[in-house]
Amino acid sequence: MSKQAGLMSRYLLLLTTNHAAFYIIQMTQFIDTENCEIIFGSGFPQDQDYAHICQSVSRVKVCMETGRTVVLLNIHNLYESLYDALNQCFISLGGNYYVDLGLGTHRVKSRVKDEFRLIVIEEKNVVYTQFPTPLLNRLEKHCLDMNTILNWQQQELKKELQNWARLFVSIDSSKVSNVWSTRLSPKEPDVFIGFSSDTSAAVALESTQNSSRGALLPYEEREASIAKRKLVQCATPDSILHLKYSLLDDAEQIQDLYFHKQKHNSLVSVLGEAFNQQPGKERTTGLCLQVSTHARLLNERDLEELRKKLNLQNKIHCLFLSQFDTEYTFRQELR
């Protein structure tokens, strides 16, 4: 590919669900993460002002001049500053290409190296409802979510999971009176925390990647069992109790799995199991865990009790997102 042809290729807009495209392009090594600038949109109050936009534009400008790839995620206030770049309004001077970047009423000229690439990752519903047509016309659009990267075996597992989830929330009319039928028919997002159209595909992909080849069950049954356990792990207690009215034949086994074999009764048990399951590498790099609960927020006495029961040497720190005004202060506190 010639230098001009490479420079003139359109920049990418990846329409996705739950930002799955970012994970996919990392997993497939579509981008070189070591030679890539990833800019996340910030929801902190003071990150919405003019100074922060200038900082983000400056990061993009450096990448243009050095030929690095830029990935933009959920950063709507930056697109207007990049319109000339997205529209490829380049000026050729001395064998180099230059473009104007907007900073409010000000314009900054930047050199654009041939190796520079721009990838915008955005949720489908946001693109359909909030992206202006001129911005859409400037980008090469592709849909990329978990469903697009599954092989045929994973597709079959995804369909099995979807059918199982429908049975999970369905009510057997012979087991319950009409008076209660509407109250005992929760929708999937209310049963499985965070459930979306992409959940079954994501669980199918993770289950097939992590399943053990040495298990006693046949390969397909083992993967299906692992996938269903993952969905049960994020189910609500109410939905598990209502299983006796569902169309599933193994409701009692699922209830036993949820209340006795998995950890749902306390934060101590959840954290204890998570720490024990960490391999050596993850113990040094850290653990990310999301716990959904209706319980009250933790106070200092609760944290000290957690530390003692988990036999932790260091103090536990409790951070609230509301106490931070910028992403920078949040990052500094984590470090």
Do 100 and 18 have their domain in common?
yes
Under 8 Å between Cβ of 146 and 207: no
Do 124 and 8 have their domain in common?
yes
Neighbours of 258 (CB within 10 A): 20
Under 8 Å between Cβ of 36 and 68: yes
Do 130 and 8 have their domain in common?
yes
Domain end point (choices 241, 261, 281): 261
Do 12 and 136 have their domain in common?
yes
Q: Does 35 have pLDDT greater than 50?
A: yes
**Domain region containing 306:** 296-334
Do 134 and 172 have their domain in common?
no
In a domain? residue 277: no
CATH number of residue 64's parent domain: 3.40.50.300
Do 101 and 114 have their domain in common?
yes
In a domain? residue 110: yes
In a domain? residue 285: no
Q: How many domains does the chain have?
A: 3
Backbone angles phi, psi at 214, to 5 degrees: -95, 10
In a domain? residue 272: no
Domain end point (choices 214, 242, 261): 261
Under 8 Å between Cβ of 312 and 302: no
Do 141 and 158 have their domain in common?
no
Do 189 and 249 have their domain in common?
yes
Do 89 and 108 have their domain in common?
yes
* Sequential DSSP letters for 138-180: TEEEEE--GGGG--HHHHHHHHHHHHHHHHHH---GGGS-HHH
Do 9 and 131 have their domain in common?
yes
In a domain? residue 314: yes
Domain end point (choices 145, 160, 178): 145
Under 8 Å between Cβ of 118 and 10: no
pLDDT, tens digit, for every residue of 318-333?
898 889 998 889 989 9
Residue 123's H or E segment, with its range, is: strand 117-123
pTM: 0.77
Separation of alpha carbons 266 and 293, rounded Å: 10
Amino acid type, 181: S
Percent of the chain scoring above 70 in pLDDT: 87
Do 101 and 180 have their domain in common?
no
**Distinct helix (H) and strand (E) counts, the chain:** 17, 8
Instruction: Read off the tokens for 90.
Output: 């380049």
pLDDT, tens digit, for every residue of 240-257?
988 888 888 889 999 999
Instruction: Read off the tokens for 136.
Output: 């859409």
Least confident of 25-39, 221-235, 295-309: 25-39
Return the pLDDT at 290.
86
Do 229 and 304 have their domain in common?
no
